[in-house]
Amino acid sequence: MNKPKQLSAFITTLNRDCPGVLVEVDAPRDPEGEWWLDVANGGSHETVSWRPKVGFGFFTTDEKGFGDRPDEIYRKVEGACARLCRLMEQRRTNTTRSMGLKDVRRMAGRPQAQLASVLKTNQAAVSRLENRTDMYLSSLGEYIRAMGGQLELHAKFKDFEIRIDPLLIARK
């Protein structure tokens, strides 16, 4: 079966950006189904899921499971390759694989100065915000919005799940 164009582009870009990686493609029976890529680099290994209407999915936790969905999704080849190279580097150097605010900003391709301008503040304030261990949800929401994203907050209980509006959290 021929590989879909986006998958071929991903492999080409990955070989360019992370030289030395070996990629094995596990094709589904139905080309519209879930494709898997096994990416090896030295001693490390990453699994990538790809669905035509969803994009590239990465698994950043190492806890053993079965039938998990990806915890990060990337719709475009360049972003997916950049994140995968970073994940492999993080595994090699044994550093945390989850993303902090600074990582998210870099993925969104927004320099601190640009973000500061959108937030009507200065670069130092953005830097301080990124290094905080705690902050108001409203500040986090503004930060994400300034990058073109949307902050979502969900609460899950045994019998129900709800979406909480971060802006209405203090409503009486």
Partner 1 sequence: MALTRSERLAIFLERLSAAPAAGSAEEALILLAAMLNGVEDEFTTVLFDLSGVQSDGRMYPPLPDSAREVPGRSDVTRYRS
Instruction: Say whether residue 3 binds partner 1 (CB under 8 A).
Output: no
Nearest residue to 39 via CA among 19, 61, 53: 19
Instruction: Say whether residue 163 binds partner 1 (CB under 8 A).
Output: no
Nearest residue to 72 via CA among 84, 88, 90, 85: 84
22-26 sheet: strands from edge to edge: 22-26, 35-41, 44-51, 55-58, 72-74
Instruction: Say whether residue 28 binds partner 1 (CB under 8 A).
Output: yes
Select 43 or 67, whichever has its Cβ closest to partner 1: 67
Q: Taking the complex as a whole, how short is the minimal distance between the CB of residue 10 and partner 1, in angstroms?
A: 17
Helical packing angle, 77-92 and 101-108, nearest 10°: 150
Binding positions for partner 1, 130-159, rule CB under 8 A: 156-158
Question: CA–CA separation, 1 vs 31, rounded Å?
Answer: 8
Binding positions for partner 1, 56-75, rule CB under 8 A: 57, 63-73
The site for partner 1, by CB under 8 A, has a size of: 27
Q: Using CB under 8 A, list all residues that contact partner 1.
A: 26-30, 32-34, 36, 51, 54, 57, 63-73, 156-158, 161
